[in-house]
Amino acid sequence: MVWQKAGMRKFILSGILISLCSVLFAQKRPPRELMRKLVTKDLAFSVQQYKSLMRNLPPGKMLKTYDAAADTLVTSDPEWWCSGFYPGTLWYLYEYSSDAAIKTEAENRMALLKREALNSGNHDLGFKIFCSFGNAYRITGERKYKESILIAAKSLATRYRPSIKSIQSWDSSAMYKCPVIIDNLMNLELLEWGSKNGGGKQLDEIAVNHANTTLKNHFRADHSSFHLVDYNLSAGEVMRKITRQGAADSSAWSRGQAWGLYGYTMMYRFTKNNQYLLQAEHIAKFILDHPRLPADKIPYWDFDAPGIPHTYRDASAAAIMASAFLELGRYTTGQSRIRYITTAEKIIQILSSPLYLAKQGTNGGFLLKHSVGAIPFKSEVDVPLTYADYYFVEALMRYKNWYLKRTGKV
């Protein structure tokens, strides 16, 4: 394969070894004390690793990835869709540690990001603003953060297209008329939170309409998702269903399935609409019952990727899934609930292993190795990524706060 790198064979063999070993504890719950120690260790490591990263990130820039060959951080401007994940991770780590240096770094980077609340040029405002300012407001209660969230929610609402009852992801171009990608579900959290915190009922209506349209048009009979649906705005009709980051138009791009799982679980949290909970469980079933999901639950970059098992895993998709499964476990009962929580625990365990979790002071300061951005574009392949770290730390904090503090059975 043209995108293969040196060391790929070693990574694949290590992954196969972990997959084989994980069969030995398939669906077996680890003791709570084991998970307590693991989560505590991971969070303490994350604090120290990010304090190292903080020292290396140039002023005035946002974090993107790490170029191991050049031993340098790859940065972006605040306009980049991932710019909110680094400060968002910092807020989670500050919540855990109360380390003032981490809080100061988060505030300094958010000063660069604040103006993005007015940027209605694409749909990524939830990623940029809610992951950062949303966590900042939740933790501190400072009004200035809430104001930025509500501004961003109103900016995102301007991208709503009534003829298709959906939010347009990217502007029209020679390639697309009105593209809507599955990732867009994640930004509905900004709208739902805004609606319930002074932004008005219209934000909820837009979010619900978008979720319903996505449910109707993005999913196949097996509950896997297309990546991109392109609409004819004037006719209000679907023109085509394709991919940008998956293996093929008909394939199940792994991070896209993770966005869907997380998105409908989150929409159920806000609306208590059982249709969304049912859809989240349908997506969960597709993922967990898929014959090409490895036993260790770290998916290949696409469920239909050519060359499986001799291709890349995606730690970012796994981290998103772990966080989503932990929330889905809160809304379900019986064997389904146990399965979701057990899966999240297994993912956390595997991502905490030396294969995926960096050693202190390595990996440019990032936590996780082996994520995949966009293989069709040969972009960010087998590298650390900010959103992988963000959802990994979110999963750790969710497990700590939701499950380790409970009495009785998880």
Residue 170 belongs to a domain: no
| Cα dist from 257 to 99, 180, 183, 282, whole Å | 35, 15, 9, 11
Angle, alpha carbons 89-94-95 (nearest 5°) = 100
Asked, for residue 2, whether it belongs to a domain, the answer is yes
Query: How far apart are the C-alpha atoms of 257 and 305, rounded to whole Å?
Result: 14
CATH number of domain containing 336: 1.50.10.10
Residues 6+ apart with CB under 8 A from 10: none
**Distances in whole angstroms, Cα of residue 233 to Cα of each of 104, 164, 173, 180:** 45, 7, 13, 12
Rounded-to-integer distance, Cα 219 and Cα 226, Å = 6
Q: Which residues of the chain have pLDDT under 70?
A: 1-28, 406-410
Residues forming beta bridges with residue 74, ordered by sequence position: 65
pLDDT of 229: 98
Domain total in the chain: 1
Q: 399 with 42: CB under 8 angstroms?
A: no
HEC-encoded secondary structure of the chain: CCCCCCCHHHHHHHHHHHHHHHHCCCCCCCCHHHHHHHHHHHHHHHHHHHHHHHHHCCCCCEEEEEECCCCEEEEECCCCCCCCHHHHHHHHHHHHHCCHHHHHHHHHHHHHHHHHHHCCCCCCHHHHHHHHHHHHHHHHCCHHHHHHHHHHHHHHHCCEECCCCEECCCCCCCCCCCEEEHHHHHHHHHHHHHHHHHHCHHHHHHHHHHHHHHHHHCECCCCCECCEEEEECCCCEEEEEECCCCCCCCCCEHHHHHHHHHHHHHHHHHHCCHHHHHHHHHHHHHHHHCCCCCCCCCCECECCCCCCCCCCECHHHHHHHHHHHHHHCCCCCHHHHHHHHHHHHHHHHHHCCCCCECCCCCHHHCCECCEEEEHHHCEEEEECEHHHHHHHHHHHHHHHHHHCCCCCCC
Four-point Cα dihedral 205, 136, 110, 207, nearest 10: -10
Q: By CB neighbour count within 10 A (0-12 exposed, 13-18 middle, 19+ buried), where does 377 fall? A: exposed
Decide if 294 is inside a domain. Answer: yes
Is 147 a member of any domain?
A: no
Closest CA to 162 of 212, 260, 233, 228: 233
For residue 305, being part of any structural domain is answered with yes
Residues annotated as catalytic (active site), given as ranges? 124, 183
Q: Which residues face 242 on adjacent strands?
A: 228
Any domain includes 266: yes
- Asked whether residue 354 is domain-assigned, the answer is yes
38 found inside a domain? yes
Closest by alpha carbon to 260, among 310, 317, 315?
A: 317
Structure tokens at 172: 């029209």
Position 79 scores a pLDDT of: 97
**What is the residue range of 299's domain?**
1-60+254-410
Alpha-carbon gap, residue 136 to 332, rounded angstroms? 29
Whole-number Å distance between alpha carbons of 251 and 226:
7
